[in-house]
Amino acid sequence: MQSLKKSSLYVLSINFIIFIFFPTLFLVKGGHNIASVGLCGIALIYLISRLLNREELDSLPRAEKIWMLCLLFYSATFLLSFFWHAEKLRELEHIAKLCLFIPLLYLFERYQPHINWLLKGILFGAIIAGGVAIYDRFILNVYAAYSPRMLQI
């Protein structure tokens, strides 16, 4: 019973975070980081709990394990280049996100997200984007939508 509650909690939280990804793109500055950090956090919690319970991590297919090994090799090569060229610390953000993506493979292998949540999130995000664009154009009388909040390139 306890594992069923934990399982449904994982599935619900994964699907909810996938749902809120697209609306947060338009509602919050830097919103693309919110849902991805949430998913990576859940994946790390899942991976740590799986390691603490001494469960096997060999459930992934061989091709996915090779792909993960390639990601880790790329990360190691990037870190070597980072230290060799004395880059700024800001450059590590992309590699950190890449390394945090690896536990998501284990999480999505066990608890597959539902496509309906993704499609509803895209629809909800599109409705919000349209509402903000209408508000900007007709209420605020600005030339381009999102221009009060974003830098035009």
Using CA atoms, how far apart are residues 11 and 69, in angstroms rounded to an integer? 26
Token pair, residue 128, equals 């919000």
Residue-level pLDDT at 77? 86
Using CA atoms, how far apart are residues 104 and 47, in angstroms rounded to an integer? 9
For the chain, give the mean pLDDT: 79
Encode pLDDT of 40-72 as tens digits: 888 888 878 777 776 666 666 777 778 778 878
14 contacts 39 by C-beta, under 8 angstroms? yes
Token pair, residue 48, equals 């740590």
13 contacts 42 by C-beta, under 8 angstroms? yes
pLDDT class for 140, splitting at 50, 70, 90?
A: confident
- Nearest CA among 129, 104, 140 for reference residue 24: 129
Encode pLDDT of 97-136 as tens digits: 777 777 887 788 888 888 999 899 999 989 988 898 888 8
Q: How many CB atoms lie within 10 A of CB 22?
A: 24
